[in-house]
Structure 1
Amino acid sequence: MKRDIQILMHTHWDREWYFTKDETKVLLRNHMQEVMEYLETNPDTIYILDGQSVMIDDYLELEPEAEDRLRKLITSGSLRVGPWYTQTDLLLVHGESIYRNLYYGIKRAREFGNPMLVGYAPDTFGHASQMPQIYRQFGIDSTFFWRGFSELKAEKSDFIWKGIDGSEIVGVNLATGYQGAKYLENKEDELKNRMKKIMSVLDKYSASNARLIMNGHDQMPIQKNIKEVMTKIQSLYPDDTVRISDFETYVNALDKSELEVVSGELVDSKHARIHRTIGSTRMDIKLLNSEIENKLYNVLEPLAVIGEQAGVLYPHSVIEKVAKILFGTHAHDSIGGCNSDKVNQDIKQRLLNALEMVDTQIELHLRLLTMGDVDNDYTIAVVNALPEKRENQIVTFDMLTRSKSFILYDEEGNTVPYSVISQNQEDAGLIDRQVAARLQDIKVWRTYITVPVKSIEGLSIEYYTYEEVESNDASPEEKQESTIENNFGRVIIKDNQLHYKDLNNNRVYENILSIETGGDDGDSYDYSPPINDWILNSTEAAEINSSVIKTDHYQKMNIKLTMTVPETTQDRENKKANKEVAFTGTLMLYPDDSKLYVNLTHTNHTKDNRYRAVIKTGIQSEQVKVDGYLSSQNKPMYNEQALNIWKEDKWVEKPVSVETAQSFITLKNEESQCTVYTDGLKEYEVLDDRIHLTLFRTFSHLGKRNLVNRPGRPSGIEIETPDNQMLNETFTFRFAIDFKQTDQESKRAKEYLTPLIGYQQKEFNRFNINPRENVTTTHEHLSLELNELTVSAVKLTEEGDLFLRLFNPQETDVTVVLPENSYLATPMEEKISTTNSLTLTPQQIGNLIINR
């Protein structure tokens, strides 16, 4: 068979790793100068700029005068950019971040020419099962990748990848890696030996006569003598063709009707490492990223939609800026945390900056919304950020008042009940510098309250007012008790264990929550158990102290779980528990909510360890239901097939049964169900009837060699990273445990991550702002009957239309009726056609534009 040898020239551009993004920006300027000079001299050449449009911005930041020159090369097709904005991780970040990364990547590439519509993700640590549909929606019909493939999926490296909804694209595993033909030799003997190795692999795995030769590597400069090398390759293979090519040409050479069909996630670690436990590396960074994503997608964007109805300008530029900061931290190394300490410090600081921006914009919007045309200056806004009517909710927010007590009123003047969570006195001069500048001594009370909300329309605001009154202490009474309950269940502490009694069927779930700690001999890529591990569980090794607050609107248990653990690896090997550690926090129950809300805080004082929350469900099951990107799916509890063969088959990494979820994990059988809803905690493992939710892990090096689960060379480089021990780092972990039987976990997870928002217009503020004359109160709303569909995004397009993204996590079709002037849309937020209803098949995603 005559082979078609296609050489793809590219560079793989890690913006940061054990080097910083600022170092690579300087190198990129030099790199782009060489690439452009070569392409201008050789206009028949094609060069791939790693599938990420951010390289345009990084280069032009340092050499803006080259914009026209760059545009000519992209327009001509010599230089290929997009579709991503940055090379993102495809398992750990928010599903909306995947959509927005492609949106901004394609948008930026279009400003210079035609984007490369190929799902190029060369070095990502695994690929989610929803990616075929997401790619398809952006007009992308193929993906090229390195990690995640094995012969358990297909015999050939060219295949049809079927997504969880049934969408199909061409999948191409880069069998010799994206770096397989880096720095091709010019000496004939060396080139002959090199090509023999490359071609033997490609001849085995390629499904057509096309052979894809990936000529590039990390930050590799363009190989200027490539044509000379190609001439020599042609002489080695005179019966074959040799040419410079691109991804699209390679796909066109495939007979798609003959390709094998592959389903599910691409996370096998036979030929390349996947690092399945990287989901718990540098949890400070991961939790911070999740906090920003949730605030951006679940709070700021829908709040800004409501604000626009009241006359507050939609903050497009702020949202884009925050999103692009996020994307800059979403590369597999960056969000993975597998970097030098210096780089992780930079990543964390950028995320802190993004958090400040999103928090400030949210607070600014809420302030403006409470400064509209209302008669009473004492205004409170309660916001529903979902486009659905919600009932029997609670909203929690802080009040700042001069008096210790106050009365809330709704818009009709009716008294609104509430319960105090906490109350402290503060110096107003520390809040508002104008108070201190005037030498005023003003004390104020900051009171956190919970307010029941019987009903609130979708995408709407309800306004309250308040009156300060003189009264007795409003703080709730704290009692030394060990039980709380609501309409659904009762939490009991007994024998230093937490138990839950389901009041609907009187079943008792014993020891529902404990903390497990064990050693970690791994590195920034992988947890690895020590050869001599000593695993301790708080069930046997801890003491739980508790106090209880009971009010009409919540019951709260304050807990402190104290246990003594090994401080160092040596202590663990010697079975010496010598360091007292504590997990403090709260367990909350609300009258009309079946979830038990868990909030735990911990400051780390030990090295080389892993901590996990263990949720004992009492439920045995072979499958686990979780959510992925805009989907729900059932995964096997144990990765049996791969684990049975990995040693014999010489996989490069053990395919451990540690998995990733986005926001919920469910175990169920015919009689019972337990769902854990998580806020940023995504790595889990199910053992018997217990869900192990990884809280954090600590370790000493960026890379290590010969780990128990990962034999051979180190991943990354072997440098010490003392920051990864996370000493004195304080973590806050939030999750909820729910024993209610439901098949709507996706909707409940969205509601859990999108609580009602409450805000009081305060007398004292850090910054002063003027009221906006055009800002008014608004009673507009959008309450859609979404049935089982789940909301992913609520925002405005750049043209000012309302954009919604919905998905169907169910196993049957779901239809919803839409308002007038509704349109089916693309994820690029372009209208397709008018519609008065939307039907989504199982796991299908729908994009809508509604003119309001």
Structure 2
Amino acid sequence: MQKTAHIISHSHWDREWYLPFEQHRFYFIKLMNDLIEQFKKEGNAFQSFHLDGQTVLLEDYFAVHPENREIIKQLIEEKKLQIGPWYVLQDAFLTSSEANIRNLQIGLNDTKAYGQAAKIGYFPDTFGIYGQAPQILKQAGIDTAAFGRGVKPTGFNNTVSDTPNFESPYSEMIWKSPDGSGVLGILFANWYSNGNEIPVDEEEAKVFWDKKLQDAEKYSSTNQLLFMNGCDHQPLQKAIPAALETASVLYPDYTFKHSSFNEYTEVLKESQPDNLQVIEGELRNQRTDGWSTLVNTASSRIYLKQWNNHCQTLLEKVAEPLASLNLLAGGSYPREYIRFMWKSLMKNHPHDSICGCSVDEVHREMVTRFETVAQMGDVFVKEQAAELARRIDTSEIPEGGIPIVVINTTGWEKNDVITEAVDLDKVYFSKMHFEEIPDYLHERETPGYKLVDDQGRTMVYQLDEPKIEFGYDLPDDKFRQPYFAKRAQLSFFAEEIPAFGYKTFYLMPAESSVKQVDPAQMITETSIFDMENEFVYVQFHEDGSFDLLQKDTGKCFRNLGIYEDTGDVGNEYMFKEAKGQAAITSKGAAAEFHYLEKSPLRTVLEYTHTLEIPASADDRLEVERNQLIWHKERTAGRSKEMKSITLRTVVTLAKGMKGPAFKLTIDNQATDHRLRVLFPTGLKTDNHKADSIFEIVTRPNTPEQEWENPSFCHHQQRFSSVADEHMGLTVATDGLQEYEILKEDGTIAVTVLRATAELGDWGYFPTPEAQCLGIQTAEWQVLMHEKDVVQSQAYIDAYQYKVPLVVVQPGIHKGSWPTTHQFIKTEANKLAWSSLKVAEDCKDVMVRWFNPAKEAVSLTASIEDYQSYKSTILEERTGLEKEHYEAGKYEIITLGFYKKG
């Protein structure tokens, strides 16, 4: 049978990696200019070039050569230059569910300006892929995926290392999501460089093709052979037409075609056999020796993951929903600005960027980008909240009263203790000379207050001693307005804030002065340090470990929260424990305790450890780095010199919290080590659950038989959880994305710091800033529940961790909306809410959930004067307009709402 060799010219373009962004862009501009000249020179002899699946590269090029936009547009329209479908080639596990969707939405939206996209789920170098990718791709109208990692074992420098039991015998397979959605999966079995630098000379070409054809045929299930003509930052091979002409002469039984993914996959699907292997769920290289999964990028430069989690939460859980509520209230939706914020954030999402596995210059620039996104998001939320509050009728309030609007942008009702600065009095510079205002405000008597809810019920609250502080307004119709305000921190329990809605509270002048309880005066000396609320009781031991008791069941987990430090002689990609020394832990090491606050609203306790640990790895590590000894083969240990590291832990348990929340501050003065916090559950179970992309995935506690690496770490998004049939423990985190389940006692081990100093790929690239010296932080919450995290719906609390209520102090004015309102009413029990936004190309309101279980679940959602319909992730109607919907097993379900009439 005649075989066809499809040669796809490409260059896998990491925007930043072993060089910083601008230096990589310098070479990318050369590549693009060469491409333009090549297409002009060769005409149809040079058929096409695959632009690495990411449209951001066009922005990078046009920033320097805007005059070539029409030339590039013509090449794309002629299908010579293949673009999309992504905006960036993201890391799949370290970016959120919604970030993965926005990446696809924005990438495909960008391609509309050029007329066509490469319709392939392109994951050439992604460090493992989440199990719901086939469902996401199918909803986007893409039925084929190509990937380089996750199935067939790969080793150092991406060399293939077959084992007898790898998942698929072919480079083609059917890849299915948990819901049953399937796509044709194409593995780059011989990597995405198996057709790189094809010789033109006949003698060289004979040697090249004899091996390359054999290697491709070894894994191919059809007569269509794929050869990727390129590699990382590969310059253009201009001699491809001549090289393929040579190959055609040498191998007349083969057809050599300069091809594209669209052409290749079309004929591949026609010729594929019926008995392809079916691969289900996550692609994480589990059937390997475990030394090349790159999973420990989840703990490289944890500060980047924390920044990313903050910015993603700000955009997808606060900014987009708040703007959507504003639209429903009668405002406009600033779609382009939201898209601009997402694009700015996603420039930090490529795998070598968010994974923290690049040179130091890259990650310094990333922090600046994160700061920029946070600045944009903060001002956006502030203005959107103020605009919504201006539409609320706050006029029915006695003189001197202060309205406070609390907005819930999530899909679940929220109960939370909030602390917010409130202006009790204010004088603008336009009303009085600014030098006189502070004394005037200081001398004005501050009345007593009471706090009431929208039903007039008096509430418990705290109001700190007010301070005189400067502030300013930026009105829409006049110059900035500076003022001094008498400002105080107000704390209270905001209860039953409706999902997708708001509730108004009032700080009212009291008839007589009401003295608030000072939380500091409630603190007494004690030998027992504990805390409790209506749900849990927590008692701390001398070494900082604690017992957690669930009050309604009486069940308890004991000795949680020990810190563990080990040596790390690996690199930014992979952890390798140093030889010769056992882990150093805080077990039995006395901590210093004291209360920071005790009040009816919350208890805050601080405790501090000082651990003595080796200052660094021993001298052997530097020798091994310079000799490019692969991490697996390293024998370096830890130094004899010791350093002190200070661990300051602040734990908070407030009214309404289902479990205590922790903030650890680390004064890291040592290098080449890893710090984890341990939660021994004592539960006997073979598997556990973790939050992933649109999935609460079940993973085994122990690896497959091929696994040799002593470490068995995993990725997580928001949480990991261990449970038996009776009870469970879940650890929700804020940007801590690496964990391990220790098989001895079902311990959840969460990495809070990893310090290393080497990039770790194809050469020696020192990265001293990856040691994360100085002050580092980590935050998490511990949740106890009955049964597992899905059955108990404890995932709701885990997803709500670190998603704030939005608080705004509006003026007193008339408005068209009542003091409490829910814009979107839902009955979505047992579904996990994911997003609320407005469609990319119209004013339809889009709400997304996913079903975390295998049982179908009913869904009802309504907006007054709107009609609902079922949609894909690309906001395309499926044709179903109902009042009630059903979310199938593990389904990602999106409902759209359009205004009637």
Fold match by TM threshold 0.5? yes
Cross-structure match for 1:829: 875
Specify the alignment match of 1:712 in structure 2. Answer: none
**1:89 and 2:91 aligned:** yes
Match of 2:274 in 1: 257
Structure 1 residue 655, shift from structure 2 partner: 8.6
Q: For 2:490 and 2:680, how far apart are their aligned partners in 1?
A: 32
- 1:701 paired with 2:750, answer no
1:690 is displaced (CA, Å) by 0.7
What CA distance in whole angstroms lies between the structure 2 residues aligned with 1:717 and 1:406?
A: 66
Cα deviation 1:685-741 (Å, max 9, x = unaligned): 0103210011121112222xxxxxxxxxxx153122221111113324233332444
Residue type of the partner of 2:661?
A: Y
CA contact (8 A) 2:688 2:698 kept: yes
Match of 2:506 in 1: 465
- Of 49-58 and 31-40, deviating more is 31-40
Q: Which amino acid counterpart does residue 823 of structure 1 have in structure 2?
A: Y
Is 1:840 the equivalent of 2:856? no
1:19 aligned residue: 19
1:352 and 2:371 aligned: yes
Matches within 5 A, 1:427-446: 427-429=468-470, 444-446=486-488
Alpha-carbon separation, structure 2, partners of 1:580 and 1:25: 40
What is the CA–CA distance in structure 2 between the aligned matches of 1:491 and 1:718, rounded to whole Å?
Answer: 48
What secondary structure, in the 3-state scheme, does the structure 2 residue paired with 1:812 have? coil
Q: Following TM superposition, by how much is the alpha carbon of 1:313 offset from its aligned partner in structure 2, in angstroms?
A: 3.0
Residue-by-residue CA offset, 1:251-282 (whole Å, 9 max, x unaligned):
33242522111112111175993311110001
The whole-number CA distance in structure 2 between the counterparts of 1:462 and 1:443 is 25
Q: Is the 8 A contact 2:665 2:775 kept in 1?
A: no
Partner in structure 1 of residue 434 of structure 2: none
- Segment drifting more, 71-80 vs 19-28: 19-28
Is this contact kept in 1: 2:616–2:639, CA < 8 A?
Answer: no
In structure 1, give the amino acid aligned to 2:887: L
Any conservation in 1 of the 2:76–2:82 contact (CA below 8 Å)? yes
Letter in structure 1 aligned against 2:647: A
In structure 2, distance between residues paired with 1:677 and 1:740? 16
Would you say the 8 A contact 1:182–1:216 is kept in 2? Answer: yes
* CA-based RMSD: 2.9
User: For the residues of structure 2 that align with 1:439 and 1:239, how far apart are their CA atoms?
Assistant: 80
Q: Output one character per residue of 1:591-636: Cα deviation in whole Å (capped at 9) or x when no partner.
A: x443222232323222111111111222122101112111122100
What does residue 117 of structure 1 align with? 119
1:283-302 equivalent positions in 2, closer than 5 A:
283-302=302-321
Matched residue SS, 1:832: coil
Deviation at 1:405, TM superposition (A): 6.3
Note if contact 2:222-2:273 (Cα within 8 Å) is conserved in structure 1.
no
Q: Which residue of 1 aligns with 2:719?
A: 664
**AA partner of residue 617 (structure 2):** T
CA distance in 1, matches of 2:469, 2:140: 51
**Cα gap change, 1:474 to 1:42, in 2 (>3 Å):** farther
Choose the corresponding residue for 2:764, options 694, 704, 718.
718
**SS of 2:675 mapped into structure 1:** strand
Deviations 1:402-445 (A, max 9, x none): 6596432334544333246xx476551378899xx999996744
Matched, 1:379 2:436: no
- Structure 1 equivalent of residue 799 of structure 2: 750
- Give the corresponding residue for 2:632: none
In terms of mean alpha carbon deviation, does 302-311 or 514-523 score higher?
302-311
* 3-state SS, counterpart of residue 302 of structure 1: helix
Q: Which moved more, 1:543-552 or 1:623-632?
A: 543-552
Paired letter, 2:608: K
Q: Counterpart of 1:796?
A: 838
Q: What is the rounded CA distance, in whole Å, between the counterparts of 1:772 and 1:79 in structure 2?
A: 57
My pick for the range that moved more, 339-348 or 270-279, is 270-279
- Of residues 569, 575, 578, the one that matches 1:527 is 575
The answer as to whether partners of 1:813 and 1:840 remain within 8 angstroms in 2 is yes
Shift of residue 827 of structure 1? 1.8
> Where does residue 283 of structure 2 map in the other structure?
266
Please say which of residues 676-685 and 131-140 is displaced more in the overlay: 676-685
Q: Could you tell me which residue of structure 2 aligns to residue 343 of structure 1? A: 362
Measured in 1, the distance between the counterparts of 2:741 and 2:581 equals 20
Mapping of 1:99-110 within 5 angstroms? Answer: 99-110=101-112
Mapping of residues 429-508 of structure 1, within 5 Å: 429=470, 444-453=486-495, 455-467=496-508, 471-472=514-515, 474-477=517-520, 478-481=523-526, 482-496=529-543, 497-508=545-556
SS, match of residue 258 in structure 1: coil
Amino acid corresponding to residue 814 of structure 1 in structure 2: V
Change (3 A) 1:333 1:71: same
Aligned-residue offset at 1:670:
2.5
Distance 1:480 1:371 in 2: 47
Q: How does 1:810-825 map onto structure 2 within 5 Å? A: 810-819=853-862, 821-825=867-871
Q: CA deviation at 1:97?
A: 0.5
Structure 2 unpaired stretches of 5+: 153-164, 426-445, 620-636
CA distance in 2, matches of 1:257, 1:438: 70
2:297 counterpart (272, 278, 285): 278
The structural deviation recorded for 1:25 is 3.0
Asked whether 1:53 is paired with 2:70, we answer: no
The answer to whether the 8 Å contact 1:818/1:836 transfers is yes
* Structure 1 residues 581 and 431: alpha-carbon distance in aligned structure 2, compared to 1, 3 A threshold: farther
Contact 1:796–1:802 under 8 Å retained in 2 = yes
Query: 3-state SS of the aligned residue for 1:177?
Result: coil
Question: Over residues 317-344 of structure 1, what are the superposed CA-to-partner deviations in whole Å (9 max), with x where a residue is unaligned?
Answer: 2211111112111111000111111111
C-alpha deviation, 1:641, in angstroms:
2.5
Summarize deviations over 1:569-608 as a string: whole Å, max 9, x none. 3498355644141222123143x44322223232322211
Maintained 8 Å contact 2:103/2:346: yes
Does structure 2 retain, via aligned residues, the 8 Å contact 1:747–1:789?
A: no
Whole-Å separation in 2 of the counterparts to 1:594 and 1:560: 24
2:826 counterpart SS class: coil
Aligned to 1:649: none
Unaligned runs of 5+ in 1: 647-653, 704-714, 764-770
Once the two structures are TM-superposed, the CA of residue 208 in structure 1 deviates from its matched residue by 0.8
Distance 2:687 2:504 in 1: 46
Write out aligned runs for 1:185-200 (5 A).
185-200=199-214
Paired letter, 2:139 = Q
Kindly indicate whether residue 669 of structure 2 is the aligned counterpart of residue 624 of structure 1.
no
TM-aligned CA distance change 1:244 to 1:669, over 3 Å: same
Q: Is the 8 A contact 1:147 1:273 kept in 2?
A: no
1:184-225 alpha-carbon deviations (Å, 9 max, x no partner) = 222223222222332222111111111111001222222111
Is the 2:167–2:279 Cα contact (8 Å) retained in structure 1? yes
Task: Name the residue aligned to 1:708.
Answer: none
The range that moved more, 134-143 or 520-529, is 520-529
Shift of 1:300: 1.0
Query: Counterpart of 2:559 in 1: which secondary structure?
Result: coil
Task: Report how many aligned residue pairs link the two structures.
Answer: 818
Helix, strand or coil at the partner of 2:25: helix
Cα distance between partner residues in 2 of 1:746 and 1:805: 16
Counterpart residue number, 1:3? 3
Distance between the aligned counterparts of 1:343 and 1:418, measured in 2?
46
Return 792-801 or 731-740, whichever deviates more.
731-740
Q: 2:733 aligned to 678, 688, 708, which one?
A: 678
The residue correspondences of 1:539-554 to structure 2 (distance < 5 A) are 539-547=587-595, 549-554=597-602
Q: Separation in 2 of the partners of 1:286 and 1:182?
A: 34
Query: CA 1:319–1:500 in 2, change beyond 3 Å: closer, same or farther?
Result: same
Moved more, 821-830 or 262-271: 262-271
- CA gap of 1:468–1:233, structure 2 versus 1, over 3 A, is farther
Matched, 1:181 2:195: yes
Q: CA deviation at 1:5?
A: 0.9
Partner of 2:420: 397
CA distance in 2, matches of 1:738, 1:397: 29
Distance in 1 between residues matched to 2:97 and 2:139, nearest whole Å: 14
